[in-house]
Amino acid sequence: MKIVRVEAVPFAIPYAKPLRFASGEVHTADHVLVRVHTDDGLTGTAEAPPRPYTYGETQESIVAVIDKIFAPQLLGLTALEREAVHERLDRTVGNPTAKAAIDMALWDILGKAAGMPVSGLLGGYTDRMRVSHMVGFAPAEQMVAEAERIRDTYGITTFKVKVGRRPYTDDVAACRALREALGPEAELYIDGNRGWTASESARALREMADLGLTFAEELCPADDVLGRRWLVRQSPVPFIADESATRAAEVTRELLGGSATAISIKTARTGFTASQRVLHECEGLGVEVLMGNQIDGQIGTLCTVTFGAAHRSASRHAGELSNFLDMTDDLLAEPLTIEGGTLRIREGAGLGIDIDPDKLARYRQDR
Ligand code: MUC
Ligand code: MG
């Protein structure tokens, strides 16, 4: 299981409908396919999504850091030496999605070598997760129409509503319209991607007190340290740290500092190894977690559901697993399907990622 090659293949697939949120917008899935090859002929696969507004990575930077730094460091190590792999990767700061994709590809190799599903190796709790759909910025009536379409087509009844626009009252009105249209049985929570100030966030939460929201995520910047703590103290629902808590140390800092009371776990940035650290930290502290979405394609979504379904506490809440629905195409030979509001893991050895070679040839950007 010696690593003999690490491939970073940039590809681009357009979105049919762009996703807009307070810190940015996504029109094209310009991701990087990461494949780790071993001397015994196994290949582990994952994808890294560049999110410059969250981590500073670009498609070019992911390819460069893998080709120039990570690949040469990893050659000769085996997939069983993940601690040594991470020690080497961590000599370079940042670059979370590049590191995470390598980590998940190594788990894929382990599963294939053992002839076992990665979900079972991680924890094997269940084989599916309920799906939460992210509703991006649009006029309120379009947001309602999208949520109704997603509910009617896929059976999804949990929605994360993007907020953080100005005036904040536009978002309050959109959330109210969603609650009125979807009824009390829908679960709604909000994500501000740091778009509001602490005081705008507090006013918005007060004005939405009757909407039965279940969580509030990153409404204002964690860097506004005292304002954020002041907000979190008065939040009527758990306050999720997402981009402010992207590794275990940041999770500690945000939780102990009173700047968050719940954590979003994204395999796109912490892979499986570091996601388990974050998950176990949260379990030990008695803090709720949600499986978040880094606007993943189908490969990333399969990684997220594999990890989420493997763990009891990670599968308790619906996972954000539906952003791929807005892409015009994907690389998986057998597309993911959401039915009855749930997404299942893949049975079989590894992660079950089978790339369609024709699609890869069509969408890759390096040839
Ligand atoms: C989310 O939960 O915030 C948008 C920006 C990002 O970093 O992730 C997405 C979704
Ligand atoms: Mg978020």
For the stretch 337-357, pLDDT in tens is: 999 999 999 999 999 999 999
Residues sharing a CB contact under 8 Å with residue 280, sequence separation 6 or more, in sequence order:
none
- Region 3-115: CATH code: 3.30.390.10
Q: Which ligand is nearest to the CA of 219?
A: 2
Q: Which of 294, 317, 322, 324 to mutate to test the pocket of ligand 1 (most atoms within 8 A of CB)?
A: 294
Q: Closest residue (by CA) to atom 8 of ligand 1?
A: 294
Residue 366 and residue 245: Cα distance in Å, rounded?
A: 33
- Across the range 61-81, mean pLDDT stands at 98
Fold of 120-344: TIM Barrel (3.20.20)
- Across the range 44-72, mean pLDDT stands at 98
- Across the range 325-333, mean pLDDT stands at 98
Q: Closest residue (by CA) to atom 9 of ligand 1?
A: 294
Kindly report the backbone phi and psi dihedral angles of residue 280, in degrees, each rounded to the nearest multiple of 5, phi listed first: -70, -35
Judge if the beta carbon of residue 292 lies within 6 A of ligand 1.
yes
| Tens-place pLDDT, residues 124-163 | 999 999 999 999 999 999 999 999 999 999 999 999 999 9
Reported confidence tier of residue 80, pLDDT bands at 50, 70, 90: very high
Q: Would you say residue 256 has pLDDT above 90?
A: yes
Question: Which pLDDT score, from 0 to 100, does residue 99 have?
Answer: 98
Q: Would you say residue 324 has pLDDT above 90?
A: yes
Residue 290 and residue 242: Cα distance in Å, rounded?
A: 10
Question: Which pLDDT score, from 0 to 100, does residue 57 have?
Answer: 98
Read off the pTM. 0.98
Reported confidence tier of residue 6, pLDDT bands at 50, 70, 90: very high
Q: Would you say residue 193 has pLDDT above 90?
A: yes
Q: Closest ligand 1 atom to the C-alpha of 320?
A: 2
> Domain boundaries in the chain?
3-115, 120-344
Query: Which residue has tokens 């730094």?
Result: 69
Q: What is the maximum alpha-carbon separation in the chain? A: 60
- What is the pLDDT of the chain when averaged over all its residues? 98
Question: Which pLDDT score, from 0 to 100, does residue 122 have?
Answer: 98
Name beta bridge partners: 134: 160
Reported confidence tier of residue 367, pLDDT bands at 50, 70, 90: confident
- Across the range 297-315, mean pLDDT stands at 98
Judge if the beta carbon of residue 326 lies within 6 A of ligand 1.
no
Reported confidence tier of residue 169, pLDDT bands at 50, 70, 90: very high
Residue 362 and residue 367: Cα distance in Å, rounded?
A: 10
